[in-house]
Copies of this chain bind each other. A is one copy, B any other.
Amino acid sequence: MFNHREEHVDKDLLLIQANLDDMNPEWVSYIMDKLFECGANDVYVIPIIMKKGRPGIMLNVLIDAAKQDSVEEIIFSETTTLGIRYLHASCHRLAREFKQVSTQWGPMTVKVGYHQGKLVQYAPEFKECEQVAKQFGVPLKLVYDEVRKQFMLEMKNASS
């Protein structure tokens, strides 16, 4: 069940940015999906104000430098931009593992993050919680709370 990875710094990243002021925003989720499928570490958009007060959006894609060509290929093919810019970036990622906790809806997964060996993050898995909420007809927020509570109790028991 443990999907362990070491905490590490990845120094060879690029943050690719494209300002879009003449593109149908309806396409954004499709483009974001394509970029994630291509292996992007992260994709997000920022509302901006461009030349002549145009309410544009800035597409941001964080990638391993090795993927620059294929990511740019997608951006030039799927968006309307005539140019992209990129900045060098590094990424510090926590060690992560997936733990399971017992809940009234069965075992559920918590994504855990460690900083210098210390547990600092624990987050219920969205997809699982969403599915439980739908299947059992309970509010999503209660599912989250229950998973978090159970994780805290199990951690406490494990440490005592």
Residues of A within 8 A of B (CB): 13, 15, 19, 21-32, 36, 42-58, 60, 62, 72-73, 76-94, 96, 111, 113, 115, 120-121, 123, 126, 130, 133, 139-141, 144-146, 148-149, 152-153
Contacts and interface: CB of A to CB of B under 8 A. Distances in A.
Contact of A111 (B27, B43, B52, B82): B82
Contacts of A91: 83-86
Nearest to A62: B85
A145 B148 contact: yes
A126 B24 CA distance: 11
A83 B93 contact: yes
A53 to B, nearest CB: 1
A79 B25 CA distance: 14
Contacts of A32: 51
A28 B46 contact: no
Contacts of A77: 115, 120, 139
A111 B26 CA distance: 15
A133 B76 CA distance: 15
A45 B49 CA distance: 5
A125 B87 CA distance: 29
B19 A25 contact: no
A29 B47 contact: no
A76 B53 contact: no
